[in-house]
Structure 1
Amino acid sequence: MTFLRPLPAGLQKIAIEELNEVPDRVESDISSLRIWLQKQPHLSACMEDQFLLSFLRGSKFSLEKAKQKIDRFYTLQAVIPEVFNEHRLVDDPQVLEIIRMGVILRIPLDKGDTGPAVTIIRVGSYDTQKFKFQDIIRVGSMFGEIMMFEDDNATVSGYMEIMDMTGVTAANLFALQPQLLSKFSAYADEAMPTRQKGIHFINVPRAFETGFKSLLSWFPGKIRERVSVSADPEAIFERVSREYLPVEYGGTKGSIQDLTEEMESKLGSYRSYFEGTQIFGINEQLREEQRLPGNSHESHFGVDGSFRLLAID
Structure 2
Amino acid sequence: MATASARSLPPMYKTLAKKTLNENQDHVPAHLTSFRRWISSAPHLKVPNDDIFLLGFLRYAHFEHALAQKRLDNFCTLRCSDKVISQWYAYPQLSHPVVDTYLSAGIFIPLGFLANGIKVILIRLGSWSPAVISQQEMRTMNNMNFERLMFDERCQIGGLALLVDMSSTSMEQASQWADIKTSRSAFKLLQEGSPGRVKHLIFYKESKVFDFAFRLTEMWISEKMRERILRVKDDMNKAFKKIHGLKEVLPVEYGGKCGDINTAIERCRAEFKEFYSRGYPLKDIEVDESKRPESAKNYMKEYKEVDSSLMGNSGTFVKIDPGD
- Match in the other structure for 1:174: 175
Normalising by structure 2, we get a TM-score of 0.81
Amino acid at match of 1:156: I
- Match in the other structure for 1:141: 143
1:245 equivalent in alignment to 2:276? no
Measured in 1, the distance between the counterparts of 2:24 and 2:192 equals 24
Q: CA deviation at 1:276?
A: 4.7
Normalising by structure 1, we get a TM-score of 0.84
- Match in the other structure for 2:132: 130
- Equivalent positions of 1:163-312 (< 5 A) are 163-176=164-177, 177-205=179-207, 207-208=208-209, 210-217=211-218, 219-222=220-223, 223-234=225-236, 235-238=238-241, 239=243, 241-271=246-276, 275-287=280-292, 289-292=293-296, 299-300=301-302, 308-310=304-306
- Match in the other structure for 1:93: 97
Measured in 1, the distance between the counterparts of 2:91 and 2:78 equals 16
Native 8 Å contact 1:220 1:310 kept in 2: no
| CA pair 5-76 structure 1, distance change in 2 beyond 3 A | same
- Structure 1: runs of 5 or more not aligned: 302-307
| CA pair 21-120 structure 1, distance change in 2 beyond 3 A | same
| CA pair 244-298 structure 1, distance change in 2 beyond 3 A | same
Q: CA deviation at 1:98?
A: 1.2
Native 8 Å contact 1:105 1:259 kept in 2: yes
Measured in 2, the distance between the counterparts of 1:210 and 1:195 equals 25
Measured in 2, the distance between the counterparts of 1:49 and 1:98 equals 30
Measured in 2, the distance between the counterparts of 1:311 and 1:226 equals 26
Out of 187-196 and 9-18, give the one that drifted further: 9-18
- Match in the other structure for 2:68: 66
SS at match of 1:46: coil
SS at match of 1:56: helix
- Structure 2: runs of 5 or more not aligned: 311-324
Measured in 1, the distance between the counterparts of 2:307 and 2:175 equals 19
- Match in the other structure for 2:163: 162
Amino acid at match of 1:82: Q
- Match in the other structure for 1:104: 108
Measured in 2, the distance between the counterparts of 1:60 and 1:310 equals 33
Q: CA deviation at 1:274?
A: 5.5
Amino acid at match of 1:131: I
SS at match of 2:294: coil
TM-superposition CA deviations, 1:137-182 (whole Å, max 9, x none): 2222123221221151x21232121110110121211111232122
- Equivalent positions of 1:26-37 (< 5 A) are 26-37=28-39
| CA pair 278-255 structure 1, distance change in 2 beyond 3 A | same
Measured in 2, the distance between the counterparts of 1:200 and 1:164 equals 8
Amino acid at match of 1:182: R
Measured in 1, the distance between the counterparts of 2:219 and 2:174 equals 13
Please report the RMSD computed on the Cα atoms of aligned residues, expressed in angstroms. Answer: 2.6
Q: CA deviation at 1:200?
A: 1.3
Measured in 2, the distance between the counterparts of 1:140 and 1:218 equals 24
Measured in 1, the distance between the counterparts of 2:147 and 2:192 equals 15
Match of 2:59 among 48, 57, 60: 57
Amino acid at match of 1:226: R
Q: CA deviation at 1:93?
A: 2.3
Q: CA deviation at 1:75?
A: 0.3
| CA pair 163-210 structure 1, distance change in 2 beyond 3 A | closer
- Match in the other structure for 2:319: none
Native 8 Å contact 1:133 1:175 kept in 2: yes
